[in-house]
Amino acid sequence: MKQSLTRLSRALAPSLLIGPALCLLVHGVQASCNDDLLNQVERNTPRSGVKGKAVKPAARVPADDPAFVPPPLMEPQLQLQTLAREAVRRSAQIGAVKLLAEAAEYDVDETRGAGLPQMTVGGTVGPGTSRYSNVDWNHGLYASASVNVSGLLYDGGRNRQLTEWRRALAGAAKFSLQTAREQVVLEAVSTAVERNRYKLQAQVYQQFVRKMGCLVDALQEIVSEDKGRASELVQARKTQAQAELQRDNALAVSRQIEIRLRKLIGDQVPPSEGIAGPLTLTQDVGEVLRLAEQNTELQQLRAQSAASQRYAEAIDAGQKPQVNWVVTSTGAKSGDTKSVTAQAGVSFSYSVLNGGSAAAAAAAAARRAESARQQYDEYLNTRVARVAEVHDSALSSFDRAKRYVEVLKDSDRVRSYTFQQWSQLGRRSLFDVMSAESDHFNLRIAYVNALHDGYQANAQLRSMGTGLTGWLAPDAQ
């Protein structure tokens, strides 16, 4: 290189030595430092924020090792489906909620069984004594056995309402199980998208590092001929070191997110390339609102509200008369004396005076039922507003991403012109070159963030509709 510069300096005026040297270097720098992320940006940007085909995955940035062969990529939809199924399969939270749902079903059977005929058998045995009028004392072994059969005739509908209360709670528990599945799937998908975000950021910063590295190499050649340019070399190295710090930070965050992802789905973590592609499509807000009525969280709240109403009716029915039929038979033996008694009839009970506790209990249950209804209405209104908010966030995020593409094209031209003016014409300072490069790569990071903000918003939007579970893992429901 020095020989080339020497030959070139003999042909040109000595005062122009540094300019031609940079002119020669710039071609090598541009050839070795050229990157294709802008093309990736255009491939990744959705054609429409509302409807359209899923984007293709970004091209993988080649590893520095030429022998590196990237693993084959799975289809993005298949990646998400695998991730969702594994998250559901491994979740202990889902297992705990499933057991609670099964327990609620047993509660229904218990309450319903209380209204069916009941039979109890009892007995005693042991030493005893007894005496009747004009009869001698009777000492010896005492034994007795009894059978009692009873059934409900009338309770004002209390048992029926209690059964319906338990049944409504069991239904709410089932929806709670589906909600738990949805939360786990949403967490897994969101975590995978965030991992992809920071891996792409690390790729962008790595390209910035490589760009600065090429410039540092060029400046080292220049400084070897002109020691007065050493400050520019120091500035370039500083910018390169800052880019390395940003890259390492993005990689660290990506590793931490991957640890959380492994906690959710185990060691079979799908590759990150293109995994968010299916989340490019933004559903229509009206369709989401229509589907939101079947959302498991809303159905769970409806079931809980219905359960509160049933319980209030059961408490009210408990203040009415209770009528049961009863058949009882008892046999006893004390020494040599035997006795057998049998009885059949109807038992009746009614609370005449209870200090107002029954009325207070009924009033409290009615207030809780009304509270549950109002909570459901408030949640529904909040959900409608949230759907509109997330929908707008998805559209605006993808719109920003598309607009960043156009800005990046201009930014790419600006940095190219700035570099040429500095290296060939001497009309710009190295500070201008650093500023143009930094601005360009910051725009790339902003593009990556806007795109992944849109992916996250679309994942939430699907979750608030029929749910990600039904879309990705219907067999897990």
For residue 361, which of 310, 311, 320 has the smallest C-alpha distance? 311
Check the CA dihedral 443-445-450-454 and report its sign: positive
Task: Determine the Cα–Cα distance for residues 278 and 318; give it in Å rounded to an integer.
Answer: 55
Q: Which domains does the chain have, with CATH numbers?
A: 1-26 (no CATH), 35-115+157-316+364-476 (1.20.1600.10)
pLDDT for res 319:
84
For residue 433, which of 418, 451, 445 has the smallest C-alpha distance? 418
pLDDT for res 390:
94
The answer to whether the predicted template modeling score (pTM) of the entire model surpasses 0.85 is no
Residue with tokens 């559903």: 283
Task: Determine the Cα–Cα distance for residues 79 and 427; give it in Å rounded to an integer.
Answer: 51
Q: Report the SS3 class of residue 62.
A: coil
List, as own/partner pairs, every contact residues 322-325 make where C-beta atoms lie below 8 angstroms and the sequence separation is at least 24, other chains included. Answer: 322/154, 322/155, 322/156, 322/158, 322/348, 322/349, 322/350, 323/152, 323/153, 323/154, 323/155, 323/347, 323/348, 324/150, 324/151, 324/152, 324/153, 325/150, 325/151, 325/153
What is the token pair recorded at 330? 């008892």
What is the token pair recorded at 441? 């790569």
Instruction: Note whether 156 and 149 are within 8 A (CB).
Output: no
Instruction: Note whether 184 and 88 are within 8 A (CB).
Output: yes
* 277, HSE (Cβ side, Cα atoms, 13 Å): 22
Measure Cα distances from 248 to 38, 49, 65, 340 in Å. Answer: 22, 32, 18, 91
pLDDT for res 444:
95
- Report DSSP letters for 136-169, one per residue: --EEEEEEEEEEEEEEEEE-TTHHHHHHHHHHHH
Task: Determine the Cα–Cα distance for residues 239 and 205; give it in Å rounded to an integer.
Answer: 11
pLDDT for res 477:
62
Q: Report the SS3 class of residue 349.
A: strand
Task: Determine the Cα–Cα distance for residues 181 and 469; give it in Å rounded to an integer.
Answer: 7
| 421 DSSP 8-state letter | I
For residue 303, which of 464, 108, 112, 465 has the smallest C-alpha distance? 108
For residue 191, which of 118, 100, 256 has the smallest C-alpha distance? 256
Task: Determine the Cα–Cα distance for residues 403 and 398; give it in Å rounded to an integer.
Answer: 9
The amino acid present at 350, given as its one-letter code, is: Y
Task: Determine the Cα–Cα distance for residues 66 and 368; give it in Å rounded to an integer.
Answer: 68
Q: Which residues of the chain have pLDDT under 50?
A: 1-32, 35-43, 47-73
pLDDT for res 105:
93
Instruction: Note whether 358 and 158 are within 8 A (CB).
Output: no
Work out the angle between the directed axes of helices 158-225 and 92-113 (0-180°, nearest 10): 170
